[in-house]
Amino acid sequence: MRPSVDEQLHGTCRILEEVVAPAVADPYARTILAGLIANLRMLHQAIPAVAAFLQHDNQACAKLLAELAPALPPPLAEAIVQALAHSEPEPTDSAALEQRNQALRELLAQAVCGEALAPDLQAKIKRHMIERASRMPMRYVPTAPTTS
Partner 1 sequence: MNRSVDPPSPATCAPSGSATPAEQVAADLQRLMTHEIPSARDIRLQSLVRAAGGLSRENWSLDATWTDAAGAHKHQLMLMRDASGTLLNTERGREYAVLKALEGTDVPAPRVYWMDPQGQFLGAPSVVMERVSGSCDYMVLNSSRPLDERLALARGFIELMAAIHRVDWRARGLERSLGLPQHSPARTELAHWQAEYQRVRLEPHPELDLILSWLQQQAPVTETITLVHGDFKPGNALIEGQRISAKLDWETAHLGDPLEDLGWVTNPVRKREHQIPGHWERRQIVDAYQALTGRTVSERVLSWWNVLACWKLAVIQLTAVHEFVAGRYNRVFQTPTWLYRPMFQMMEAA
Interacting residue ranges for partner 1, rule: CB under 8 A:
25-28, 30-32, 35-36, 39, 102, 105-106, 108-109, 111-113, 125-126, 129-130, 132-134, 136, 138-140, 144-148
Least distance in angstroms from the C-beta of 111 to partner 1? 8
Among residues 30, 31, 36, 29, the alpha carbon closest in space to that of 13 is found at 36
How distant, in Å, are the alpha carbons of 5, 13, 105 from that of 93?
A: 18, 27, 18
Write down the least CB distance from residue 100 to partner 1, Å. Answer: 12
Q: Among residues 37 and 55, whose Cβ is nearest to partner 1?
A: 37
Contacts 24+ apart (CB under 8 A), 86-95: 88/55, 88/58, 88/59, 89/58, 91/51, 91/52, 91/55, 92/51, 94/50, 94/51, 94/54
Nearer to partner 1 among residue 11 and residue 114 (C-beta):
114
Q: Are 112 and 104 in contact (CB under 8 A)?
A: no
Q: Which is nearer to partner 1, 16 or 35 (CB)?
A: 35
**Residue 13 Cα to chain centre, angstroms:** 22
In the complex, least distance from residue 49 CB atom to partner 1, rounded to whole angstroms? 14
- Shortest separation between residue 104's beta carbon and partner 1, angstroms: 9
- CB of 1: closest distance to partner 1 in angstroms? 26
Nearest to 111 by CA among 47, 62, 53: 62
Q: Smaller CB distance to partner 1: residue 2 or 86?
A: 86
5 vs 32, which CB is nearer to partner 1?
32
